[in-house]
């Protein structure tokens, strides 16, 4: 149990060490007292304390996870069929949130910008994580949207309440490309599908189409920001995932933040350092 407590404290220390990077800067300071923390709110002149508690039975849970990991058959370069061309099972995510989950009091609007989402556009673990994270935030009463390319291979029967919500233009290679934005619901999660009028995202699979993927995801990253601008959408958090959406923060801080998107903050999650994309 001591090891688990140390890990928890290390993670919290790392988080608190970055509080000076937040914009605007927080109006509180923190003081660590062993596994206890004291927050001093300078605006309200209040002080509150809390204690980090380790989960009972965490070691057993870790051992159980380790045993399941051993049963996973990992992809190999020697596989006859590359993993992104294999058939993956489809399932629906339970829309019933566990009763014991507490609702957060400081609610946010979170938009995930991603190249994958389970089960409709799943290749690897990225799709699973995005769907699971979105469901977890929804269960805590946050407003959540996922922005996803409208791949030609997506089975529309897996999308409920699908409708065209916006027709606009997004810039690519010196031209403004007519673009459609659709809204639908997948496994209880609101999804915004971005569909360009050119050849991007065409093909039988999520990856490996005849188009240049680097250019396609550069377009997608800008098209997502362009949609937020033309619709006046101001989320609290834009959470981008993996290399496919890595250009979005550059576009945001260099252009769209000065044009109209003043509110959002950017979160980048790198899911696998071995698959980071290549630009040549």
Reported as a single tens digit per residue, the pLDDT across 164-197 is: 999 999 999 999 999 999 999 999 999 999 999 9
For the full predicted model, state whether its pTM sits above 0.85: no
| Rounded Cα–Cα distance for residues 91 and 158 (Å) | 10
As a whole number, mean pLDDT of residues 210-222 equals 94
Cα 7 to its chain centre, rounded Å, is 24
Beta-bridge partners for 149: 194
Beta-bridge partners for 226: none
Residues 6+ positions from 147 with CB-CB distance below 8 Å? 111, 112, 113, 114, 191, 192, 194, 224, 227
Contact 148, 186 (CB under 8 A): no
Beta-bridge partners for 178: 169
Q: Given a cut of 70, is residue 39 above it in pLDDT?
A: no
| Rounded Cα–Cα distance for residues 227 and 12 (Å) | 35
As its CATH architecture, domain 106-269 has 3-Layer(aba) Sandwich (3.40)
User: What integer pLDDT is reported at residue 34 of this predicted model?
Assistant: 37
| Rounded Cα–Cα distance for residues 67 and 192 (Å) | 37
Domain boundaries, the chain: 2-51, 106-269
Contact 114, 130 (CB under 8 A): yes
Distances in whole angstroms, Cα of residue 271 to Cα of each of 128, 180, 229, 256: 11, 29, 28, 26
The CA R_g of the chain, rounded to the nearest whole Å, is: 21
Confidence class for position 55, pLDDT limits 50, 70, 90: very low
As a whole number, mean pLDDT of residues 213-238 equals 97
User: What integer pLDDT is reported at residue 56 of this predicted model?
Assistant: 42
User: What integer pLDDT is reported at residue 233 of this predicted model?
Assistant: 98
Q: What is the mean pLDDT of the chain?
A: 78
| Rounded Cα–Cα distance for residues 140 and 37 (Å) | 24
Dihedral sign from CA coordinates of 31, 33, 37, 40: negative
Confidence class for position 275, pLDDT limits 50, 70, 90: low
| Rounded Cα–Cα distance for residues 212 and 190 (Å) | 28
Q: Which two tokens stand for residue 33?
A: 């007292």
| Local structure of 257: helix, strand or coil | helix
The H-or-E segment that residue 117 falls in is none
């Amino acid at each position: 149990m001591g090891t688990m407590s140390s890990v928890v404290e290390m993670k919290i220390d790392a988080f608190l060490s970055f509080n000076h990077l937040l914009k605007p800067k927080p109006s509180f300071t923190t003081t660590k007292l062993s596994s206890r923390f004291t927050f001093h709110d300078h605006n309200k002149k209040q002080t509150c304390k809390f204690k980090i508690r380790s989960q009972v039975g965490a070691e057993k849970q870790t051992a159980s996870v380790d045993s399941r990991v051993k049963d996973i058959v990992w992809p190999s370069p020697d596989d006859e069929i590359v993993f992104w061309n294999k058939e993956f099972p489809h399932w629906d995510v339970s829309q019933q949130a566990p009763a014991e989950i507490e609702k957060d009091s400081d609610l946010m609007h979170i938009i995930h910008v991603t190249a994958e989402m389970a089960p409709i556009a799943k290749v690897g673990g990225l799709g699973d994580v995005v769907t699971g994270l979105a469901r977890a935030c929804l269960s805590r009463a946050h407003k959540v949207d996922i922005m996803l390319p409208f791949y030609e291979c997506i089975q529309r029967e897996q999308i409920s309440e699908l409708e065209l919500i916006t027709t606009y233009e997004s810039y690519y290679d010196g031209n403004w490309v007519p673009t459609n934005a659709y809204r639908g619901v997948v496994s209880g999660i609101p999804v915004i599908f971005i569909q360009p009028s050119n050849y991007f995202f065409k093909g039988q699979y999520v990856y490996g189409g005849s188009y240049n993927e680097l250019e396609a995801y550069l377009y997608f990253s800008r098209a997502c920001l362009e949609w937020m601008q033309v619709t006046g959408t101001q989320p609290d958090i834009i959470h981008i995932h993996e290399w496919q959406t890595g250009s979005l923060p550059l576009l945001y801080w260099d252009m769209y933040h000065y044009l109209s998107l003043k509110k959002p903050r950017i979160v980048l999650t790198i899911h696998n350092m071995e698959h980071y994309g290549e630009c040549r």
